[in-house]
A = this chain, B = another copy of it.
Amino acid sequence: MNPRYDIQSAPTKLGVLIPGMGAVATTFIAGVYAILKNQAKPVGSLTQMGTIRLGKRTEHRSPMIKDFVPLATLDGLVFGGWDIFSDNLYQAATIAGVLQQETLDSIRNELENITPMPAVFDKTFVRNLDGNHIKRGNDKWTLANQLRDDIRHFKEQHGLDQAVMIWCGSTEVYINQSEAHLTLERFETGLKENDASISPSMIYTWAALKEGVPYANGAPNLAVDIPALQELAKIEGVPIAGKDFKTGQTLMKTIIAPGLKSRMLGISGWYSTNILGNRDGEVLDDPGSFKTKEVSKLSVLDTILQPHLNPDLYGDLYHKVRIDYYPPRGDNKEGWDNIDIFGWLEYPMQIKINFLCRDSILAAPIVLDLALFLNLAQRAKMSGIQEWLSFYFKSPMVTEGLYPEHDLFIQLKKLKNTLRYMMGEELITHLGLEYYEN
């Protein structure tokens, strides 16, 4: 059993750089510290808790994923990042209100030691937020290079060879691809000329890639999802992934829609509403940011259900997504879905799903997995879009000419078969006829 890829061994230290150190980032970082103190388990993380079946069912080989592929370990992670508020992470986590105060108090020192660097911010892209911990510069080129300096400085300071960047910032307003997004050359000219279509998240991405740092985009805005930056990723040989962490309601949607489709049950309507009271809810109360999110959330069903192949079942599906800011809940999001389905002879039935979830609790282990898997990919010399990480995203990026896979179960198969392939193990097809042959 020889690995198909020649994978460099895991680093003892790995930098994790995060633009946007709010609820998700602090929950992730505080969580890692609490886990290292054995206070809690990294539930929700495939890299830490997951197993992978190898060979036949009768072989009973199911190692932990972290024992199967060479990953950085939690005690080697070094955290840094940027935010528009200057609070240290103990303060920021307290304001976020996700974790219990006693958890935060037990790791107060570690959290107080981390203070965000000043952020690149542009209010035209996030209208409902105001911050005061912000970089100044004459143009976007200058700001971008300040970020490169930050990255280099962070690596030197902590003696790091390797790092990854995971965007955990707010959702930017909806924009279409424009000229400056099409080629790297035009993009860099745009940076220098302060092109209005270049958003802060793109500036961070550019800086990361130029520094050879893999980049994942946890929000639905374009960021790395433009040709210019994908070109840069290829040139620099850096893996990228995105976009929009798949949590909460959309996670449920990508579980249930494939299930209904597997049985050829028709769907006439899918109504989804969300109530949430955190900063994310506040940002999405702006129609521009909501539009970005809505596009990301709506696309999911079409790709799973393939109405062009199944017009009788999904051709008339009415899909509506609502997000309502509702302060009484804080970070505890709640999703309600009503699904109007039909079966044999088109008789109608209904499914209603009420999900009392916690946004940051669902997102934090995704940040961890992406950090470790992107670093693994870099050491395996994989670059550009990592489609096998689609599993983590609402709007998975794919290469030109391909449709994305939204079905969570196809995504998981893709991820696990990629790991098997990396390590020279047989791919699993679930055929299993051999068990029944004499």
A interface vs B, CB < 8 Å? 27-28, 31, 34-35, 39-46, 48-51, 57-58, 62, 99, 103, 251-252, 254-256, 258-260, 262-266, 268-269, 271, 273, 275, 306, 309-310, 312-313, 318, 320, 322, 324, 326-329, 334, 336, 338, 340, 342-347, 349-358, 360-362, 364-365, 384-385, 387-388, 391, 398-399, 401-403, 405, 407-410, 412-414, 417-418, 421, 427-433, 435-436
Which of chain B's residues have a CB closer than 8 A to the CB of A340?
Answer: 328-329
Which of chain B's residues have a CB closer than 8 A to the CB of A258?
Answer: 255, 409
A322 in complex: contacting residue of B252, B273, B334, B435, CB < 8 Å: B273
Given contacts A338-B275, A435-B399, contact A358 B353 (CB under 8 A): no
Contact yes or no, B58 A402, CB < 8 A: yes
Determine the residue in chain B with the shortest Cβ distance to A64. Answer: B309
Count of chain copies? 4
Which of chain B's residues have a CB closer than 8 A to the CB of A388?
Answer: 432-433
Contact yes or no, A263 B251, CB < 8 A: yes
Given contacts A338-B275, A343-B365, A427-B429, contact A401 B58 (CB under 8 A): yes
Q: How far, in angstroms, from A44 to B264 measured CA to CA in the complex?
A: 4
Contact yes or no, A347 B358, CB < 8 A: yes
A431 in complex: contacting residue of B273, B306, B356, B427, CB < 8 Å: B427
Determine the residue in chain B with the shortest Cβ distance to A267. Answer: B328
Q: How far, in angstroms, from A265 to B438 measured CA to CA in the complex?
A: 39
A43 in complex: contacting residue of B27, B50, B51, B342, CB < 8 Å: B342
Q: Give min CB distance, A401 to chain B, whole Å.
A: 6
Which of chain B's residues have a CB closer than 8 A to the CB of A428?
Answer: 429
Contact yes or no, B326 A343, CB < 8 A: no
Determine the residue in chain B with the shortest Cβ distance to A382. Answer: B436
Which of chain B's residues have a CB closer than 8 A to the CB of A57?
Answer: 402-403
Determine the residue in chain B with the shortest Cβ distance to A98. Answer: B347
Which of chain B's residues have a CB closer than 8 A to the CB of A255?
Answer: 255-256, 258-260
